[in-house]
Chain A
Amino acid sequence: MLVRSPQAALQRLFDEVGTVDQIGIEERVAKFGTRSIKQTAKVWGLKTAVSMVDLTTLEGKDTPGKVASLCQKALAPHDPELGVPQVAAVCVYPAMVRHARRALGCDTAVRIASVATAFPSGQAPLKTRLAEVKAAVADGADEIDMVINRGAFLAGEFGEMQDEIAAVVQACGATTLKVILEVSELETFDNIRAASFLAMRVIRPGDFIKTSTGKTSLNATLGNNQVMLEAIRDFYLDTGVAIAMKPAGGIRTAKQALTFLVAVKETLGDAWLNNRRYRFGASSLLNDLVRQLEKEKTGAYQAPYYFSEAAESY
Chain B
Amino acid sequence: MSRLPITKTPKVYVGGAFIRSESARVFPLKDASGEFFANIPQCTRKDLRNAVEAAAKAGPGWAKRTAYNRGQILYRLGEMIEARAGEMADAITLGGATPAAAAREVAATVERLIYYAGWTDKYEQVLGNVNPVAAPYFNFTVTEPMGIIGVIAPDEAPLLALISLIAPAITSGNTVVALASSTQPYPAILLGEMLATSDLPGGVVNLLTGFRKELISTFATHTHLRAISAVVNAEERKALALGAADSVKRTHLRKAEDKHDWLADSAQSLEAIRETLEFKTTWHPVGA
- Between B223, B243, B246, the greatest number of chain A beta carbons within 10 A of the residue's beta carbon is seen for B223
Q: Contact between A303 and B221 (Cβ–Cβ < 8 Å)?
A: no
- Report how far A298 CA is from B56 CA in the complex, Å: 21
Q: Contact between A306 and B221 (Cβ–Cβ < 8 Å)?
A: no
Is A304 interfacial (CB 8 A cutoff)?
A: yes
Contacts of B224 in A (CB 8 A): 301-304
Q: 0/1 per residue, B134-165, Cβ < 8 Å to A?
A: 00000000000000000000000000000000
Q: 0/1 per residue, B198-224, Cβ < 8 Å to A?
A: 000000000000000000001001111
Is A240 interfacial (CB 8 A cutoff)?
A: no
Contacts of A298 in B (CB 8 A): 221
Query: For chain B residues 210-250, which have a beta carbon within 8 Å of chain A?
Result: 218, 221-224, 243, 246-247
Is B114 interfacial (CB 8 A cutoff)?
A: no
Q: Contact between B221 and A299 (Cβ–Cβ < 8 Å)?
A: yes
CB proximity of A99 to chain B, nearest CB, Å: 33
Contacts of B189 in A (CB 8 A): none
Query: For chain B residues 49-89, which have a beta carbon within 8 Å of chain A?
Result: 49, 52, 56
For the side of the interface on B, what is the size category?
Answer: 10 to 19
**Contact partner, B246, options A300, A301, A304, Cβ 8 Å:** A300
Query: For chain A residues 174-220, which have a beta carbon within 8 Å of chain B?
Result: none
Q: Contact between B49 and A301 (Cβ–Cβ < 8 Å)?
A: yes
Q: List 23 A-B contacts (CB under 8 A).
A: A298-B221, A299-B221, A300-B221, A300-B222, A300-B223, A300-B243, A300-B246, A300-B247, A301-B49, A301-B52, A301-B218, A301-B221, A301-B222, A301-B223, A301-B224, A302-B223, A302-B224, A303-B222, A303-B223, A303-B224, A304-B56, A304-B224, A306-B223
Question: 5 shortest A-B CB distances, which residue pairs?
Answer: A300-B221, A303-B224, A301-B222, A303-B223, A301-B49
Interface on B for A, CB 8 Å cutoff?
49, 52, 56, 218, 221-224, 243, 246-247
If A299-B221, A301-B49, A301-B223 are given as contacts, then 19 extra A-B residue pairs at C-beta distance below 8 Å, sorted by A number, are: A298-B221, A300-B221, A300-B222, A300-B223, A300-B243, A300-B246, A300-B247, A301-B52, A301-B218, A301-B221, A301-B222, A302-B223, A302-B224, A303-B222, A303-B223, A303-B224, A304-B56, A304-B224, A306-B223
